[in-house]
Amino acid sequence: MNEAKEKFEAVGEIAEFKRNGQVFKFIVGNLVSFFGDQIYMIALPLIVLAITGSPLSMGIVATLERLPVLIQPVAGVIADRFNRRTILLVCDLLRALIVGALGMLHITGSLLMWEVYVGSLAIGVLTQIYNTSQFASIPRLVLKKDLQLANSVNTGIFNMAVFIGPGLGGILVSFFHPGWALLLNSVSFFVGFLTVLSLKLAEEVHNEIPKTWWGEIREGFVFVKNQKPILYTNLAMLFSVFGTTLFLTMMIVHLKLSVDLSAAQIGWLLSIGGGGAVAGSLVTNVLKKTFSYRTILFTAGFIGGISIILFGVSETFINLAIMNMIGTISAAIMSPCIVTIRQVLTPDRLLGRVQATSRFMTWVSMPVAAFLAGVLGEHLSTGFPIIIGGVISTLATFIYLHPSLSRQAVE
């Protein structure tokens, strides 16, 4: 019986979602990795503030983390040319080693800012390559009819980590050395490595003459240009990502310096938002049965943008927590929809390049936004870039009203 099952999986047969052990292992591995990322998200800004006390330094770190988005077209070719499972393994292992080294250096009191800068840039490069390969791997694990559900569950798992991780991370940073939080994040990457190692991720063989790297990159851009639902969601995301990057870069710095919250309070505030986002990501699959992508994306995006503006002007813990929760719910509803649109409309041989092209188009302004947030936070106030980010994100949602995102055009 076991031999027959292994042969079934080896030839690439995919089970129904509820009996699909492969995808559940993949999602559980993501949960652990996402959990570590949430702790890292709290620990790193506090470490930077402890070393420099400067919002501008945090802006530089955020810029370096996001700068590797410029290599996305190359990351897409890598994901389509090489074994995706191997790519995931290498990225997880290297990230575990780099984050662990930063944590050990900070615990021993020898961590320097140039090491933080180099580490952030390296992690950014590996994360870009990893995320592109992961996106391209999901359709190889589930049936096409289960893609929306799989993406919703995966986003829900991410938000479960957002719900649990920051609160525990805030407590960890409050009672122990922040370097231990980075070591915990390192362990989470290693768990992700072991999970991917256990997967039987079949690779589709494409019988075509290999193109040059530039030719393959160009093919991804041409495909996105011709697929209007992907193109217009990318255009909307280009502006909204600029706005949310202004917000996210200054978020924890703002809560620490301007609102004067403790590390534990910041953690609980983020966890409250994550709790709502778990429900938001899972309800997407239900909403899709009644509403078009156009309606879902515009409504959720508009509400999310307004919540960022109100976050920037709020001063009490409860108001900040509510606004953050509304924003994360909105983002959790939108993310599976955008991912599914790309996966459904893209053939397997182009999945890596289309995701990379889309991320390049939507994230190309992130380094500029992150640095701008640091400058504005340093010279004006930490709340100002958050408010500006909310205004930009709100206006960007009107692009989602394009007819190509109607139910008839996408399905």
Whose tokens are 């992508």? That residue is 293
Q: With a threshold of 0.75, does the pTM exceed it? A: no
Q: Which two tokens stand for residue 356?
A: 């990379």
Res. 227: pLDDT tops 80? yes
Sorted by sequence, the CB contacts under 8 Å of residue 47 that are 6+ apart come out as 106, 111, 116, 178, 179, 182
Residue type, 381: S
In eight-state DSSP terms, residue 146 is: G
Instruction: Tell which residue, 279, 375, 323, 317, has the closest CA to residue 57.
Output: 375
Please check whether residue 235 is in contact with residue 126, taking contact to mean a CB–CB distance below 8 angstroms. Answer: no
HEC states along 265-283? HHHHHHHHHHHHHHHHHHH
Q: Where are the domains of the chain?
A: 17-410
Q: Which residue has the higher pLDDT, 39 or 221?
A: 221
The per-residue pLDDT for range 277-306, each reduced to its tens digit, is 667 777 777 777 788 888 889 999 999 999
C-alpha–C-alpha distance, residues 103 and 182, integer Å? 5
Please check whether residue 141 is in contact with residue 150, taking contact to mean a CB–CB distance below 8 angstroms. Answer: yes
Q: Tell me the average pLDDT across 322-331.
A: 86
C-alpha–C-alpha distance, residues 278 and 159, integer Å? 5
H/E stretch holding 370 reads helix 366-379
Q: Tell me the average pLDDT across 61-79.
A: 78
Sorted by sequence, the CB contacts under 8 Å of residue 46 that are 6+ apart come out as 173, 178, 252, 256, 263
Q: Which residue has the higher pLDDT, 81 or 174?
A: 81
pLDDT number for residue 298: 93
Sorted by sequence, the CB contacts under 8 Å of residue 292 that are 6+ apart come out as 405, 406, 407, 410
Tell me what percent of the residues of the chain surpass a pLDDT of 70: 79
Sorted by sequence, the CB contacts under 8 Å of residue 278 that are 6+ apart come out as 156, 159, 160, 162, 163, 332
Q: Which two tokens stand for residue 194?
A: 């072991």
In this structure, CATH architecture of domain 17-410: Up-down Bundle (1.20)
Instruction: Tell which residue, 236, 271, 263, has the closest CA to residue 341.
Output: 236
Q: Which two tokens stand for residue 12?
A: 């690439």
Q: Which residue has the higher pLDDT, 14 or 205?
A: 14
First to last CA, the chain: 39
SS3 helix, strand, coil % of the chain, rounded to 5? 85, 0, 15
Mean residue pLDDT across the chain = 78
Distance set, CA 112 to CA 47, 117, 133, 174 (Å): 11, 9, 32, 21
Q: Which two tokens stand for residue 342?
A: 């790309």
C-alpha–C-alpha distance, residues 366 and 63, integer Å? 7
Instruction: Tell which residue, 280, 44, 248, 270, has the closest CA to residue 161.
Output: 270
Q: Which residue has the higher pLDDT, 258 or 161?
A: 258
H/E stretch holding 298 reads helix 293-313
The per-residue pLDDT for range 148-160, each reduced to its tens digit, is 666 666 666 665 5
C-alpha–C-alpha distance, residues 305 and 75, integer Å? 30
Please check whether residue 393 is in contact with residue 213, taking contact to mean a CB–CB distance below 8 angstroms. Answer: no
